[in-house]
Amino acid sequence: MHVVVAPDKFRGTASATQVAAAIEEAVIASNGTAATLPMADGGEGTLEALGGQNQTSLVTGPLGDLVEAPWRLSGSTAVIEMAQASGLIKIGGPEFNNALDATSTGTGELILTAVEHGATRIIVGLGGSASTDGGLGAIEAMGSPARYRGIEMLVACDVRTRFSDSAKVFASQKGATKAEVKMLDRRLKRLAQIYQEKFGVDVLSLDHAGAAGGLAGGLAALGARLIDGFDLIADELRLDELLADADLVITGEGRLDQTSFEGKVVGGVSAYALATGVPILAVAGQVEAEVKDRINNISLTEEFDEHLSMTETTQCINKVVGRFLENFKPQ
């Protein structure tokens, strides 16, 4: 029995790597073999999914303080995770944010650093941003656009939100008041006009451009390609090739609901499994009734109590997968 292990993180309780390790352990204990791929949807966890950090740089944090930002350089390909430079995690959460002043400058500094280190292909993972500056801070930090000619920049987006909707949809989650949301919305619309005039790119017409407070749109104005984050990561990790030899694929995330099938890991892995005819199991901390019949699943909170599911997540995952594999018969 050969199993592809491709889970997302269980937010707040276990990283994708920790979840994958727990599943892999259960597979091996069941005399199976595993191809283990901790996954992400282009948001937080992208760096981990694509090999983890091997570089660290000091950059401008979301509120202007210097922060250490991990990133990766492998050959001529760099992987940058916006949250590690300009994310809410750098300031302790939305309650500590200044939504009007938060900037994407540090992400631009990381991109520039990657180019200075010889990167000609740059993957930027978005998600978890503190800023709604339309990418202006990043663009200014990157310097002359001429420097990026010949550089392939791929932006892994975890949402499809348009540039003009970014503030209305996400700014309140970053600590913005209703009045500040309106101010940020007006600022983004003016910025879209500036990008059109300066770079000849209509960011208002682009899907994904509102990701990370409009950073996606700002980078697109400089020629970056905006891509569904899961698809980009699945392609980088060659998920389709690995599934060709699999008897089963196991995925998972903290909460399985309708949004899990809208660009997130579980929905993406499920689509790949369906296309290749490989059986799938999704393990989740909690499974909403609306999707119980949509995918073969196990809910930790139904198998264990909520406290145990939250405090001993990986142990619970290991147990339920082990039980499932006892009765699983490869086709």
pLDDT at position 13: 94
According to the model, what pLDDT value does residue 305 have? 86
Asked, colleague to colleague, whether 2-39+238-327 and 46-230 share their fold, the answer is no
Q: What is the pLDDT of residue 158?
A: 87
CB 22 within 8 A of CB 315: yes
CATH topology of domain 2-39+238-327: Rossmann fold (3.40.50)
User: What letter represents residue 286's amino acid?
Assistant: Q
Fold observed for domain 46-230: Glycerate kinase, domain 2 (3.90.1510)
pLDDT less than 70: residues of the chain? none
Domain ranges of the chain: 2-39+238-327, 46-230
Helices (H) and strands (E) in the chain, counts: 14, 11
Q: Which residues contact 209 (CB under 8 A, 6 or more apart)?
A: 161, 162, 163, 166, 203, 216, 217, 220, 226
d(CA 185, CA 100): 11
With beta carbons less than 8 A apart as the criterion, state whether 174 and 99 touch. Answer: yes
Q: Under a CB-based contact definition with an 8 Å cutoff, are residues 80 and 87 in contact?
A: no
The per-residue pLDDT for range 250-303, each reduced to its tens digit, is 999 999 999 899 889 999 999 999 999 999 999 999 999 999 999 999 999 999
pLDDT of residue 127: 87
SS3 191: helix
pLDDT single digits (tens) 150-171: 999 999 998 999 999 999 999 9
Residue 6 to residue 10: CA distance in whole angstroms: 13
Residue 263 is predicted with a pLDDT of: 87
Total-model pTM: 0.92
Angle, vertex CA 255, rays to CA 251 and CA 258, nearest 5: 90
Contact 55, 69 (CB under 8 A): no
Closest CA relative to residue 189, chosen from 27, 160, 181, 110: 181
What is the separation of C-alpha 240 from the centre of its chain, rounded to a whole number of angstroms? 19
